[in-house]
């Protein structure tokens, strides 16, 4: 996977801004906890955010940089909160806290603390406030590169790159590629049962289904 200086190597330049309708609605229906995100009463705002991101974000996951499936796919993308909505509910609908990501990257980070100062009540204005690569502030290839042999690695071992690789379990991608290759090349026996278990343990059901579909497509 070649990333540097390609369409996969982007910094997001525009974020969703709440309009007057959104602001009035949120004032009348204040957020009380992180799980409020899933309540149907906020769906119309989430739909506007999703439509904005589908139009303005390059169609690659901002973390694993694999291509996103857009508009009606079985592997529909998630709206990822860079700062967890459970940790900071006031940032739940903040535009530059929101990106489209693949389902697995979103589920892997979960509630990881991405802020340098976890006690802050103000959203940081630049890269220095975050301990992961921030898609609105950071160019991916400045912090992370993809090695054909070893998968994702931090440039010069930097902490922000390492934290991002760990938080999103990015090297599940390398393990999946290896397993696919070994299954297709039946003479290659380097994938063991433990490889398979390791892979499955890093994937949610959507990614498991995607792996199976990919293999079937190549061997049938």
Per-residue pLDDT band at 74 (split at 50, 70, 90)? very low
Mean pLDDT of the chain, nearest integer:
83
Confidence (pLDDT) at 204: 62
* Mean pLDDT within 26-40: 95
User: Is the confidence at residue 29, as pLDDT, over 70?
Assistant: yes
Looking at the DSSP bridge assignments, the partners of residue 101 are: 78
Confidence (pLDDT) at 155: 96
Distances (CA, A) of 186 to 35, 190, 191: 46, 10, 10
User: Is the confidence at residue 71, as pLDDT, over 60?
Assistant: no
User: Is the confidence at residue 220, as pLDDT, over 60?
Assistant: no
CA distance linking residue 54 with residue 48, whole number of Å? 10
For residue range 105-164, what is the model confidence (pLDDT) as tens digits? 888 877 778 999 999 999 999 999 999 999 999 999 999 998 877 889 999 999 999 999
Percent residues over pLDDT 90 in the chain: 55
- Beta-carbon contacts of residue 131 (< 8 Å; ≥ 6 apart): 113, 114, 115, 116, 159, 160, 163
User: Is the confidence at residue 102, as pLDDT, over 60?
Assistant: yes
Q: Residue ranges per domain, the chain?
A: 20-115+126-167, 172-219
For residue range 192-209, what is the model confidence (pLDDT) as tens digits? 555 555 556 656 666 666
User: Is the confidence at residue 70, as pLDDT, over 70?
Assistant: no
Per-residue pLDDT band at 95 (split at 50, 70, 90)? very high
Per-residue pLDDT band at 75 (split at 50, 70, 90)? very low
């Amino acid at each position: 996977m070649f990333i540097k200086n390609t369409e996969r190597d982007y910094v997001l330049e525009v974020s969703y801004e709440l309009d007057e309708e959104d602001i009035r609605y949120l004032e009348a229906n204040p957020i009380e906890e992180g799980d409020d995100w899933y309540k149907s009463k906020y769906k119309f705002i989430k739909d506007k955010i999703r439509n904005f991101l589908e139009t303005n974000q390059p169609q690659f996951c901002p973390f694993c940089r694999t291509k996103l499936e857009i508009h009606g796919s079985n592997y529909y993308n998630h709206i990822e909160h860079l700062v967890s909505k459970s940790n900071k509910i006031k940032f739940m609908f903040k535009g530059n806290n929101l990106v489209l990501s693949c389902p697995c990257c979103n589920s892997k980070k979960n509630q990881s603390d991405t802020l340098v100062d976890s006690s802050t009540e103000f959203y940081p204005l630049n890269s220095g406030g975050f301990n992961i690569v921030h898609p609105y502030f950071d160019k991916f290839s400045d912090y992370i590169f993809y090695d054909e042999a070893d998968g994702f690695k931090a440039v010069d071992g930097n902490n922000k790159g390492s934290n991002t690789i760990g938080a999103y379990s990015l090297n599940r991608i390398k393990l999946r590629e290896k397993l696919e290759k070994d299954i297709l090349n039946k003479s290659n026996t380097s994938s063991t049962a433990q490889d398979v278990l390791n892979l499955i343990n890093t994937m949610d059901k959507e990614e498991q289904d995607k792996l199976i579909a990919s293999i079937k497509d190549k061997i049938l």
